[in-house]
Amino acid sequence: MTSQTNDVSGDTVTDTPERPRRHPLLIWAWGLVRLDFTGVAFGALFFCLSLTPSLLPRDWLFQGLIGGLNGAIGYGIGAFLSKILARFVVRGQPGWPPSRRKLYALKAGTVGLALGASVLMVVPAAAWQRQVSAEMGLPGPDTVGYLRVLVVAVLVGAVCVAVTRVVLDTIKTLARLLIRRWRLSDEMALLIGTAVVVVLIVTLINGVLLQGFLAGASRIFQPQNATTREGISQPAQRERSGSPASFAEWDTLGYQGRNFVATGPDAAELERVNRRPAQEPIRVYAGLQTAGTDEQRIAVLLSELERTGAFDRELLVIVPTTGTGWVNPVAARALELMYNGDTAMVAMQYSYLPSWISFLGDQQKSVESGRMLIDAVQQRWSQRPPQQRPKLVLYGESLGSMAGQGAFAWLPDIADLGFTSVLWVGPPNASPLWTAITERRDPGTPEVQPRYDGGRTVRFSQANDPAVIARDTAAEWHGARVLFLQHASDPIVWWTPDLLTARPDWLREPPGRDRSASMRWYPIVTFWQVSADMTNAAGMPGGHGHNYGESVLDGWAAVAPPSGWTPRDTERIRAALRDSAGIDGPEY
């Protein structure tokens, strides 16, 4: 459409064509897809860095998710830097802004380089994933199939950028309203608008989404807690919670509690393995439904320990559990086989949620529950005459390790409270004692396998091989024995928010036994890589990631060996464990 007017001489003058007015929604939608090309360059850089190897192998779908997220973060950083440079650095400089032709050429070159680099980077990325997979004994991806990473990454990145732009548009809209209503300056309106939106988002995430997620997850997992695994039936032995003689009723123990008390070797199996008379192992457990409060559940457990004669056994083992109340069946069975049933184990459920959800949403609950369990059992144990006390042992795996460490202010407290042996497996990086000991490790020792005080009381092993664990624990111990088993490839051990901005020592030092030497630290990127690794950590083959397999047997042989124990005895028990049926993998 054109418009015509008459000039002062009466001649008709034709104006330039008028542009049709676009609907505001179309303008807003175009703003969502319009890209900042500095952001495109940074997004491609972050995407390419996300393809580098981390602790565990990732398939194309998972890598696409991580690549898209990192690409969106890189885009945001690039777009922000672009605006800062345009406003404060190059504004008013000779030759700026460039001509339209130069600008188009620059944008086209940026997009071409970004796309080319991203496509080409997938080739070495597939090779890196095959390398990491080989470390775990797994097949790796083929290069052609791994190209699907690009499609997923683009979709994920686009969604993230679009959501961010919606938030920014909300801030701008609020700022305009403030300017019209109260005639505030642009800067003050933007500041107030940003503060309001950020507060609303944080409140929404912490107060609504997170709590809603935890409540919803609890409702999802609670029904499973009421089920019983196929092949599991109520135990008849009085030495087990849930039996007809027990104070803890079978139906109240929960899914994992019923698995714990109804499985494991009986006296007949122990006699076949050890070829001598055996005792029936004691397994005591309280589920969330066993009583209404933690204090009441503790009271039930103490009654169960007295009822079963647990304080008259050679070994009393306290087991803070993982999120769902899971107790590692290999760890329990191994110790009962080693001691020919002269053992008692006590554990308590504190949540319906898997460990990774409990870790993100309610770490304090696990620590408080573990502390209450340890304090109560230790106090009852200490009331018996010293010559009539069993050896007091502590075991914790994953979040159970963190829960157990919360009971001690510092390392000497372990011996002061009477514990003779402690085995902590796959401790989360936030575990208090683990963190303190690692930070204060002997100079010159690596973070992946530190030494503290010359290894007098506490030791670390990467737990990949029985011979390695035996070597790491061969020197003479002094007093209580504390052993941490931790894989170099276990993201539960190495994940920390500090990965966002700081390179940890374990990525400065030579790699651990099953970590790829190709892994490097990159700000922001490595944090999300290791975060993604956490979700698949327990799914790795035994001896890698967060699956410690049979290495707990070697841990027990190091910290709590029966009198006269030999390496040949360890191998005999290992063979018995491998012959056992119904041993599950990790169920954190």
Higher-pLDDT residue of 473 and 184 is 473
Non-local CB neighbours of 259 within 8 Å, separated by 6+ positions: 229, 232, 326, 329, 584
Q: Note the pLDDT tens digit of each residue in 334-385.
A: 999 999 999 999 999 988 777 666 666 667 788 889 999 999 999 999 999 9
Q: State the chain's mean pLDDT as an integer.
A: 89
- The lowest-confidence range among 4-8, 106-110, 157-161, 561-565 is 4-8
**Confidence category of residue 32, pLDDT binned at 50, 70, 90:** very low
Q: Note the pLDDT tens digit of each residue in 502-541.
A: 999 999 999 999 999 999 999 999 999 999 999 889 889 9
Mean pLDDT of 255-270: 95
Q: Note the pLDDT tens digit of each residue in 135-162.
A: 999 999 999 999 999 999 999 999 999 8
Q: Which pTM does this prediction carry?
A: 0.87
- The lowest-confidence range among 84-88, 292-296, 414-418, 436-440 is 84-88
Distance CA(484)–CA(451), nearest Å, equals 11
Instruction: Note whether 477 and 463 are within 8 A (CB).
Output: no
Element (DSSP H or E) covering residue 391: strand 391-397
Element (DSSP H or E) covering residue 584: none
* Three-class SS state of 489: coil
DSSP 8-state class, residue 54: -
Query: What are the residues facing 397 on neighbouring strands?
Result: 425
- On the CB side of 512, how many CA atoms lie within 13 Å of its CA? 32
